[in-house]
Structure 1
Amino acid sequence: MARKLLKINDSSWLFAETARTPMQVGMLATFRVPEDRPTFVADLVRRWRTVHEFRPPYNYLFKSLPVPSWVEVPDEAVDLDYHLRHSGLPAPGSQRELGVLVSRLHSAKMDRRYPLWEVHVIEGLRDEGVERWALYMKAHHSQVDGVGGVRLLRRMFSVDPDARDMLPPWAVGTHGPDQSGLPPREKKAEVVRAEPGGGVVDLLGGGVRSGASILGSLGRTYAETLTGRLETGRAAPFRAPQSIFNGRIHTPRRFATQHYSIERLRTLAKAADGSLNDVFLAVCGGALRRYLLEHDALPGESLTANVPVSVRAHEGARVGNAVTFLFSRLGTDVHDPRKRFEAVKTSTRLGKQRLPEVGQTAMDAYTAALMGPFLTQALLGVGGRGRPSANIVISNVPGPSEVRYLDGSPMEEIFPVSLLFNGQALNITAVSYAGEFNIGYTGCRDSVPSLQRIAVYSGEELRLLEEAYGVADVHA
């Protein structure tokens, strides 16, 4: 059986995993049941159960010895009945019942005796008399990052509403047929730029550059960490204040969602002379400030966000991660929404400036060194016992701009479901899709009670920010 060695960054997610901290990422998509096919979901599951062709990473089995590797197993060695699950929601089948189910499914660590993925087809979702169904998929973070996951999604679902007999995710993967239905020219133009929302890291086209850029960036970053002497507005690892989000976590998860029009965010970003990602971070900062005030737990210093930045080269989807990180303040110590936005904008600009100008291979080395202390904490199981590297992870992944279909069933919404670890009890990740900005809030059930309030406060803080910049009525 063929072996594929894991990169250090990828294997660290496997060795840091525990029952309390399953290192998996998920996707929750909701679809409308075609009116002329009331048995659509049952028919889909029945057909998918006959497809026993598995493409990477769906046929990869983890082996830790002699070196961490993926072993590609033959099709007959994959137990499809284990990986494909069919569930029904209890009445009334609302978003609440769906959220409860996904929270439970995402809490469970995957069994390493099998390839590390699950596909859950969920029926019984009803909203105002409209029949819907949902697809929840999860995979190990060692195999896929946010941008890689979206690229897989692009291959799995079609822009053609008339496409039929489409293959299931495991028969597509990174090496199977592209079902997007886009002509080659459009697919090339659709490659995701390496940026967290609007202008970061178009740094990778020049190939590998001098290692001095990496050493200089790391040296300045950790000098600031050790001395605490930061430029005004700059964030650095392990300089975040302690908060209720940064203790030890437990197995059960909570999941909540929120969504906005992308055009609404862009209008605000333009009025505020910032990026869409600046708007996202400022909205999160305002929501977290309100939540912490409500719990009488707001630190005097601003919370710090760890912001993943894709550095994926312009190749097709592949197994593994291609991501680095910047650190940004969230302005939670600022009451005024406009001043908070300006603080966030300054901090993200400083964070972007700190990224080294190197190619993807060297960026992997930079990321391993930057995150080394944090990963060491995770591997030793001591995360959440000292000053946090950051208070929260906030990520923004560009998704498909057009509506996608599965056998003619239109996908209406898609939400990311992310991972947590000791010292990081809350994750906020967004994916854009068909003009909407869809946010998934993943939290530790015990550490973040009433998680839904953060999602609600996000909507209210967006409105306050629009009012502050005079664009509150533009998209009313």
Structure 2
Amino acid sequence: MDERAGELRDRDGRDRSGRDADGREHGERLSALDAVFLSMEAPDRHMHGGSLMVFDRPTGPDGPEDFDHTRFLRLVRARLSLVPRYRQKLAAPPLPVGNPVWVDDEHFDLSYHVRHAALPRPGSIQQLSEYCARILSRPLDRDRPLWELYVIEGLEDGRFAVLNKTHHAMVDGRSGIDLTSVLLDTEPDVAPQLPSPSPWSPAPTPGAGQLLRDAARDALRNPAALVTAGGRLVAAPTTTLRRAMSLGRVAASMTRATLVHGAPRSLLNQPPGPHRRFAIQRIALEEAKRVKDTFGTTVNDVVLAAVADATGRYLRGHGAVTDRLWLRAMVPVSTRAGSEQHALGNRVVSVFVDLPVFEQDPIERLRICHEAMAGVRSTHHAVGADFLIGLGEFAPPTLHAMAARAAVHSRLFNFLVTNVPGPQQPVYCLGARLIGSFPFTPLTATQSYAVGLTSTDGWLNFGFTADYDTLPDIERVTGYLRDAFDDLCRCADAVTATARDR
């Protein structure tokens, strides 16, 4: 773990193994945004995300072979040192003077976090989705490191799956490094004998008095970010102030647009209960690229247009009137850059995009989505939101909790759409090729529906999360999504054929 300390050094001189630059053993404090995810959690709202990774049957030197769970555990142990956070839990000061800190779990038990399960053979995708939904409906234990991993055997054709469940306060979808990513290899062959795990000795857990003193000290100490911002202001005060004023205007316009107008009421916006449903669908990335090349858009525009169509079809199938109905999607955008790409924690902002679920002309719907996203980019909405998050670092943690609870009980948007790029080359786990990675996303107080997407190895992998009672037939959306892409591809092929015949 110490050999990666330089890579994981934080801005205030504290490395992510939990030691300050002067060698004292203190935990890294939760950022303002990470603390918000903790504050948003409730018995019926679990703020963990996850991914369902489906693997082909493992292949060894002599051909196909069965999955070896014991070997998988050895792999996890061997690579756990690459993600020190996964052996850490949260410790909060006894008074609300600072956010919780990450400290080493002196009683860390890998067998608690890595579970082994099997479906009745041959397990179908529907059975797998239902099993995952039950697991994802349970909260994580706040007294332990905030993650769980489930290895699921018994799938058709000798396949197996790995369900990753991690709290959003711990790592976001664009951070680059989490446990599941370090378990994957770019080559199918791995050494028969995995390396021995790196020695690990947990740092002592600070007592209540130490936690309180550290929180008070951090509250009084000027953050490094403030010094950096001050340096920029001295170097170029006019430019910095002009940019701040511009960002403030953008942020204010975003706030007015969302708070004044709000999002329309729909079937998707019932208060969720504690239980979830989960459905998955794969679409070839080549289809989205063919459409975007034909009409001069982006892959993300094509995805939003298809999701808007599938969602509209689902609502109409339930008797909803969608004439002139626009649903507001919240689209998280990563603000990481350069050396921050492999850091843990959340550096994500959100933009709001109104989707025309009423529009049944595929080309017109794609044009509207393209113009909506182009407007977001041209007005720097994402940058404006990041500016507000930066200001949040200086507010007391109790204000963050209040703001989070107020926001989560507001109807600012109708549903979430996440789009996270993954590796576009084949990747393997112990000789088994990854054939799909499907995200699970949390629901807020007024949302019963969310859409996640991960692109890997030439495929768009969609995961649909829904409240168990509100949307009992969420699997129908996966078929509607397939229909939406078919319509877009037919339009693209027709345009290409017409141009060729001229």
TM range (shorter): 0.7 to 0.9
Displacement of 1:326: 1.1
The structure with the largest helix share of the pair is 2
Letter in 1 for 2:140: M
Is the Cα contact below 8 Å between 1:258 and 1:455 reproduced in 2?
yes
For 1:414-438, what per-residue CA distance to the aligned partner results, in whole angstroms no more than 9, with x for missing partners?
Answer: 1111111211111111111111111
Matches within 5 A, 1:50-89: 54=81, 55-65=83-93, 66=95, 67-73=98-104, 76-89=106-119
Call closer, same or farther: CA 1:309–1:281 in 2, change over 3 Å.
Answer: same
Tell me, in whole angstroms, the C-alpha distance in 1 between the residues paired with 2:436 and 2:148.
20
Call closer, same or farther: CA 1:227–1:90 in 2, change over 3 Å.
Answer: closer
Structure 1 partner of 2:137: 107
Give the number of the structure whose alpha-carbon radius of gyration is greater. 2
Displacement of 1:244: 1.1
What is the CA RMSD across the aligned residues, in angstroms? 3.3
For 1:34-65, what per-residue CA distance to the aligned partner results, in whole angstroms no more than 9, with x for missing partners?
Answer: 25463432332453586595533202211232
Matches within 5 A, 1:342-357: 342-355=367-380
Tell me, in whole angstroms, the C-alpha distance in 1 between the residues paired with 2:197 and 2:463.
21
2:331 paired with 1:307: yes
Tell me, in whole angstroms, the C-alpha distance in 2 between the residues paired with 1:215 and 1:267.
39
Displacement of 1:117: 0.5
Is the Cα contact below 8 Å between 2:90 and 2:100 reproduced in 1?
yes
Structure 2 partner of 1:219: 252
Tell me, in whole angstroms, the C-alpha distance in 1 between the residues paired with 2:46 and 2:196.
25
Tell me, in whole angstroms, the C-alpha distance in 1 between the residues paired with 2:179 and 2:347.
14
For 1:165-207, what per-residue CA distance to the aligned partner results, in whole angstroms no more than 9, with x for missing partners?
Answer: 55899999xxxxxxxxxxxxxxxxxxxxxxxxxxxxxxxxx9x
Displacement of 1:357: 8.1
Displacement of 1:473: 9.2
Structure 1 partner of 2:361: 336
Is the Cα contact below 8 Å between 1:257 and 1:438 reproduced in 2?
yes
Q: Which stretch shifts more, 59-68 or 281-290?
A: 59-68
Tell me, in whole angstroms, the C-alpha distance in 2 between the residues paired with 1:359 and 1:458.
32
Displacement of 1:152: 5.6
Is the Cα contact below 8 Å between 2:350 and 2:382 reproduced in 1?
no
Structure 2 partner of 1:15: 39
For 1:382-416, what per-residue CA distance to the aligned partner results, in whole angstroms no more than 9, with x for missing partners?
Answer: 72xx6x21111011111001111122222121111
Tell me, in whole angstroms, the C-alpha distance in 1 between the residues paired with 2:455 and 2:391.
28
Tell me, in whole angstroms, the C-alpha distance in 2 between the residues paired with 1:170 and 1:103.
34
Call closer, same or farther: CA 1:331–1:357 in 2, change over 3 Å.
Answer: closer
Matches within 5 A, 1:107-256: 107-126=137-156, 130-148=157-175, 153-164=180-191, 165=193, 209=240, 210-225=243-258, 228=261, 238=262, 240-256=263-279
Any gaps of 5 or more consecutive residues in structure 2? 1-24, 201-235, 498-502
Call closer, same or farther: CA 1:367–1:337 in 2, change over 3 Å.
Answer: farther
Tell me, in whole angstroms, the C-alpha distance in 2 between the residues paired with 1:227 and 1:45.
52
Is the Cα contact below 8 Å between 1:213 and 1:357 reproduced in 2?
no
Tell me, in whole angstroms, the C-alpha distance in 2 between the residues paired with 1:373 and 1:346.
36
Q: Which stretch shifts more, 265-274 or 51-60?
A: 51-60
Letter in 2 for 1:397: V
Tell me, in whole angstroms, the C-alpha distance in 2 between the residues paired with 1:8 and 1:410.
38
Is the Cα contact below 8 Å between 1:310 and 1:323 reproduced in 2?
yes
Is the Cα contact below 8 Å between 1:156 and 1:168 reproduced in 2?
no
Say how many residue pairs are matched.
Answer: 421
Is the Cα contact below 8 Å between 1:374 and 1:389 reproduced in 2?
no
Q: Which stretch shifts more, 82-91 or 210-219?
A: 210-219
Displacement of 1:451: 0.4
Is the Cα contact below 8 Å between 1:120 and 1:137 reproduced in 2?
yes
Displacement of 1:151: 6.4
Structure 2 partner of 1:47: 74
